[in-house]
């Protein structure tokens, strides 16, 4: 009798393990949405490190949040891979369009998906990398990213994002009543030289940016000062000529200041690819590690 009980327990555990594996590999829930992926060049597509196919791709996928990775298959050159987060909603479409180049900085990626809202309005939420890009809808300037628009008319629209030093990106979108369209755009460096600023009558140069409610402080670090205490970061060259300092380690956080290429700052803390630095003596803020070299 004891052997029979042990045998039954083992069988039940095996069945439970198989069901768990099926659920893990098939998705987060029984509901499915549609995933479409277009790319240049052709890429292998991975969801949560599981290979699901190659572009162009169109298939039903269990709804949920995923880490998607696009790995080029080109044997001639070696374009950079891209990885990001996507959400697939039940009975909804998620679309990824990628143009991959020899580095991540010169690659462009668009990701769009829908989420259901409680109201009947058609909404759109746009984030970009880098943030602070100018957003235009139907050639009308709406503001700077990240930006949410809650009163967009339902139907087809043209969405454009531009940022100095980056190639503009234009998408055809469709706003749907009762849904919010989530748009994330990774801009590619344009490869074009930055235009030379026109001389002005004032003795000091002025940096032209999108107007804000309060002026942005420029954090300074004297070039003659010795290196700060290790670990520290050195600011790399950026397409804009400065690097934004954020209140929190996120591109959606408020801009507190700007630091310049070549400046060095002591690292107060690190978090998810961000460095917390101390600038202007006592102020603290976060910078993206993408444009900073760490010295330990």
- d(CA 276, CA 293) in angstroms, rounded, equals 13
CA 252 to chain CA centroid, Å, is 10
Q: What does the radius of gyration of the chain's CA atoms come to, in whole angstroms?
A: 24
Both 41 and 172 in a single domain? yes
Boundary (domain end) residue, out of 147, 164, 186 = 186
User: In which domain, by residue range, is 43 found?
Assistant: 29-186
Residue 100 has what pLDDT? 92
Classify residue 64: in a domain, yes or no. Answer: yes
Can you give the pTM of this predicted structure?
0.57
Neighbours of 283 (CB within 10 A): 13
Classify residue 17: in a domain, yes or no. Answer: no
Residue 223 has what pLDDT? 44
- d(CA 141, CA 212) in angstroms, rounded, equals 15
Query: 208-232: buried (b, 16+ CB within 10 Å) or exposed (e) per residue?
Result: eeeeeeeeeeebebeeeeeebeeeb
Both 124 and 232 in a single domain? no
- d(CA 178, CA 154) in angstroms, rounded, equals 9
- d(CA 150, CA 123) in angstroms, rounded, equals 4
Residue entry with tokens 């760490």: 294
Both 119 and 177 in a single domain? yes
Can you give the pLDDT of all 296 residues of the chain as single tens digits? 666 565 665 566 666 555 554 454 444 456 899 999 999 999 999 999 999 999 999 999 999 999 999 998 765 567 889 999 999 999 999 999 999 988 888 899 999 999 988 888 999 999 999 989 999 999 999 999 999 998 899 999 999 999 999 999 999 999 999 999 999 999 999 865 444 333 333 333 333 333 343 444 445 444 456 888 899 999 988 766 778 888 888 776 677 788 888 999 999 999 888 899 988 777 888 898 888 899 98
Both 181 and 54 in a single domain? yes
Residue 49 has what pLDDT? 92
Residue 212 has what pLDDT? 40
Per-residue pLDDT of 243-256, as tens digits, reads 888 888 877 667 77
Neighbours of 16 (CB within 10 A): 10
253: domain CATH number is 2.30.30.40
Residue 222 has what pLDDT? 41
Both 253 and 132 in a single domain? no
From residue 121, alpha-carbon distances to 124, 164, 178 in Å are 10, 33, 5
Largest CA distance in the chain: 98
Angle (CA) 252-192-105 rounded to 5° is: 45
Select from 120, 117, 154, 152 the least CA-distant residue to 136.
Answer: 152
Both 136 and 77 in a single domain? yes
Classify residue 195: in a domain, yes or no. Answer: no
Residues forming a β-bridge with 84: 68
- d(CA 124, CA 36) in angstroms, rounded, equals 20
CB proximity list for 127: less than 8 A, separation 6 or greater = 145, 146, 183, 184, 185, 251, 252
- d(CA 287, CA 257) in angstroms, rounded, equals 10
- The tokens of 276 are what? 């917390």
Number of domain units in the chain: 2
Both 81 and 228 in a single domain? no
Classify residue 59: in a domain, yes or no. Answer: yes
- The tokens of 201 are what? 């009558």
């Amino acid at each position: 009798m004891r052997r029979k009980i042990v045998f039954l327990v083992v069988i039940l555990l095996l069945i439970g393990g198989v069901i768990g594996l099926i659920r893990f590999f098939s998705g987060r829930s029984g509901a499915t949405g549609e995933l479409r992926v277009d790319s240049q060049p052709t890429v292998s597509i991975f969801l949560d490190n599981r290979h699901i196919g190659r572009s162009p791709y169109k298939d039903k996928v269990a709804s949920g949040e995923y880490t998607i990775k696009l790995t080029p298959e080109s044997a001639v050159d070696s374009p950079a891979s891209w990885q990001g987060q996507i959400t697939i909603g039940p009975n909804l479409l998620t679309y990824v369009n990628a143009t991959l180049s020899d580095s991540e900085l010169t690659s462009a990626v668009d990701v769009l998906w829908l989420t259901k809202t409680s109201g009947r309005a058609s909404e759109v939420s746009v984030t970009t990398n880098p943030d602070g890009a100018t957003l235009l809808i139907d050639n009308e300037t709406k503001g700077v990213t990240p930006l949410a628009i809650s009163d967009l008319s339902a139907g087809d629209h043209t969405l454009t994002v531009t940022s100095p030093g980056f190639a503009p990106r234009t998408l055809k979108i469709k706003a749907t009543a009762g849904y919010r369209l989530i748009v994330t755009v990774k801009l590619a460096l344009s490869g074009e030289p930055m235009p030379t600023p026109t001389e002005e009558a004032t003795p000091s140069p002025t940096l032209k940016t999108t107007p804000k409610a309060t002026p942005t402080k420029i954090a300074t670090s004297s070039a003659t000062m010795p290196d700060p205490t290790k670990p520290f970061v050195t600011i790399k060259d950026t397409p804009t000529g400065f690097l934004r300092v954020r209140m929190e380690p996120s591109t959606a956080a408020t801009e507190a200041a700007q630091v310049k290429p070549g400046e060095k700052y002591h690292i107060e803390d690190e978090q998810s690819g961000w460095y917390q630095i101390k600038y202007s003596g006592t102020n603290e803020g976060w910078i993206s590690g993408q444009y900073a070299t760490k010295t330990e």
